[in-house]
Chains A and B, each alone.
Chain A
Amino acid sequence: EVQLVETGGDLIQPGGSVRLSCAASGFTVSSSYMSWVRQAPGKGLEWVSVIYIDGKTYYADSVKGRFTISRDNSKNTLYLQMNSLRAADTAVYYCARGWAPFDYWGQGTLVTVSS
């Protein structure tokens, strides 16, 4: 059974950093496109980043230069390093398998950026 479990969400001060993790089971992260999608409170879904099977990475303009997606094949885990955080980054962050479509989603982890 495919499972994705995100951890790492927290209350962060503006300008701060946090790293989200997404532990996968039931499939191999390195053999899949893997993405991060976020949802601000009461708002819609927003694609954040993707890592291709070959390791190429792409980002939404809103996070480019501040966020970094990566994976640890030995741990079968996806990461999102988030730096220079802003209030507008406050959201539930979902990891998802795939790249349009996203066929499996985790339950999400909440990142709140506030002083």
Chain B
Amino acid sequence: QSALTQPRSVSGSPGQSVTISCTGTSSDVGAYNFVSWYQQHPGKAPKLMIFDVNKRPSGVPNRFSGSKSGNTASLTISGLQAEDEADYYCCAYAGRYVVFGGGTKLTVL
């Protein structure tokens, strides 16, 4: 049950695109198409942004997209907006447990 690996921080200017990577193993990210991404603003509960690798829940802007290749999943945010500044966590199903990434702080410059 080791944590997935995410960059500690990423940044971008308004209007630009950023991509956050999430590296796991062949037992979690690589094994199932059950990767999800969560946005968390300070002091708030996490919010589901992407599920099943690349699906968006109702209400999540289409600026948010997900993908996966092998043992690495990615979250791309295009057309960055100030309100996108938050922590982002990936999560992967691994059978009888779930593992999260360490989190990435996105700064909108």
Contact = CB atoms under 8 A, between A and B. Distances in A.
Interface of A: 35, 37, 44-47, 50, 58, 60-62, 94, 99-103, 105-108
A45 B46 contact: yes
Interface in B43-64: 45-48, 51-52, 57
A60 B89 contact: no
A99 B45 contact: no
Prevailing SS type, chain B contact patch: strand
Contacts, number: 59
A36 to B, nearest CB: 11
B98 A100 contact: yes
Query: By CB atoms of chain B within 10 A, which of A37, A101, A103 has the most?
Result: A101
B72 interface: no
Given A37-B46, A101-B34, A102-B38, 18 more contacts: A37-B100, A44-B101, A44-B103, A45-B100, A46-B100, A47-B100, A50-B98, A58-B96, A58-B97, A60-B1, A100-B92, A101-B48, A101-B91, A102-B36, A102-B48, A102-B91, A103-B51, A107-B45
Interface of B: 1, 3, 34, 36, 38, 40, 45-48, 51-52, 57, 89, 91-93, 96-103
B8 to A, nearest CB: 10
Nearest to B57: A103
A94 B51 contact: no
A108 to B, nearest CB: 6
